[in-house]
Amino acid sequence: MKDESTLQLGARARAAVRSVARFVNPLVLLIAGRRWMPIVGVLHHAGRNTGRMYASPLGMRPYRGAFVMPLTFSENAGWYRNVVAAGRAVVTYGGRDHEVTSPEVVDYATASPAFPRYERLQFRALGINQFVRLTTTREEKETPMVQARSVRSSGVALGVIAVAQLMVVLDVAIVNVALPSIQRALSFSATDLEWVVNAYAIAFGGLLLLGGRAGDLFGRRRMFVAGTLLFTAGSLAGGFATTATALIAARALQGVGAAIVAPTALSLLADTFAEGPARNRALGVYSAVSASGGALGLLLGGVITNYFSWRWILFVNVPVGIALALVAPRVLSTTRGRRGRLDLPGAAAVTAGATLLVYGLSRAAVHGWGDQTTVVTLGGGAALLAVFVASWRRARRCPGPCSRSPSSSRTCWA
């Protein structure tokens, strides 16, 4: 059926549109189908010749048990021909997947009630008079197409988690090979150079528990993205560092981001894969990545430093981190935060205590164990760690805020 009021394009024009869509669609897919995006959904359809799954962002609206979308380029549209050939598809709209069947072309009068007034004016201005109505099914079980998409999404989710974990573990060792180059470029002293490694390791280890707790309270996927962006910002700042102090601060910022990414990544893996063979395989991949990260870091550190610059051992994280932050919200499962509080005093105590202990040990190697500053820093570090242990034991006995009851007995609020 051809309609003079519908856009009719020749073969060359359609090829040009497809070329542009290859670049535009991946960007639109980042926002399409979200709960806060009522204008654009995602149509998942199988290729009529290849059987390959495609995702097309389309303007659509739900209406009376169906989804209605404009058929902009008449029945020559590739996604329409794929849906007609398969007889079914999956629509992601409002953050949920809907199995749809029975594709039917309807006219403007039939479709217009589904759209708000400003969209109807746009259709009139563009001369769009054909629409497709896809009826949602009432079946509660997952259809083969939904299952196939779920398997594919799980694979991508595992890839995102594995790459994030590799980035975090790899950064512990990747700078070791570049330390001589860093020392010459930024005029590090022999005793201060070790803090390029220590700043990352202490912030990472000291805030690991706090990062996991933050994921439980504020949502794991949200904190995963936040930690990835923080790690990326630290990498970018470290690559541009021109002083020793700036590089050490950037490495500490990387450690803070890593302390958020690592525990939330493991929790997201457990949320994404059901208990059984699927989760066991995912944990195997996760463990292999974690184990190989140190060796791979030494190898990549040597190659990058030798052929490029020591700064690129930090810059290399930037595009990877940005890509993870963009892809993660689309493939990782979302979890709601729960009520509770962060143990900020405990996190501060263990991080500061570890910092003072490491500083004291490194100073003792130069000034001796009898140096007053060495004794004070080691004593202060031990005291702060003791405070952390006492705070942790108290938190185990009383997991919530505590108060005094009228009878002066200790009461814990869960």
Rounded-to-integer distance, Cα 201 and Cα 255, Å: 7
Alpha-carbon Rg for the chain, nearest whole angstrom, is: 28
Model pLDDT, residue 332: 79
Q: Check residue 407 and give its pLDDT.
A: 37
* Measured CA angle at 139 (ends 67, 72), to 5 deg: 20
pTM of this structure = 0.59
The residue type of 253 is L
Beta bridge partners of 91: 43, 98
Task: Give domain 11-141's CATH superfamily.
Answer: Electron Transport, Fmn-binding Protein; Chain A (2.30.110.10)
Residues facing residue 43 across a β-bridge: 56, 91
Query: What CA–CA distance (Å, rounded) separates 313 from 3?
Result: 58
- pLDDT tens by residue, 244-264: 889 999 998 998 899 899 888
Amino acid at 78: G
CA distances 208 to 74, 213, 255, 258, 279, Å, are 55, 9, 9, 8, 23
User: How far apart are the two ends of the chain, measured CA to CA in Å?
Assistant: 66
Quick one: pLDDT at residue 73? 64
The pLDDT score that the predictor gives to residue 17 is 57
CB-CB neighbours of 211 under 10 Å: 23
**Cβ-contact 310, 178 below 8 angstroms:** yes
- For residues 91 and 41, the answer to whether their CB atoms sit within 8 Å is yes
Q: What is the pLDDT of residue 204?
A: 83
Q: What pLDDT, on a 0 to 100 scale, did the predictor assign at position 294?
A: 75
147-338 classified as CATH 3.30.420.40: no
Neighbours of 371 (CB within 10 A): 14
- Taking 70 as the pLDDT cut, the residues of the chain under it are 1-23, 73-75, 138-153, 334-344, 346-347, 362-363, 365-367, 394-414
Residue found under tokens 């490491």: 358
8 Å CB contact between 391 and 406:
no
* Per-residue CA distances from 356 to 154, 348, 365 (Å): 43, 12, 14
pLDDT at position 233, please?
93
How many H-runs (helices) and E-runs (strands) does the chain carry?
Answer: 15, 9
Residues 6+ apart with CB under 8 A from 335: 219, 220, 221, 271
Residues 244, 329: contact at Cβ < 8 Å?
A: no
Tell me which long-range contacts 357-360 makes (C-beta under 8 A, separation of at least 24): 357/381, 357/382, 357/385, 358/198, 358/202
Q: At 405, is the secondary structure helix, strand, or coil?
A: coil
What pLDDT does 228 receive? 92
| Dihedral of the alpha carbons of 207, 210, 216, 217, in degrees to the nearest 10 | -130
Give the Cα separation of 278 and 96 in Å (integer): 23
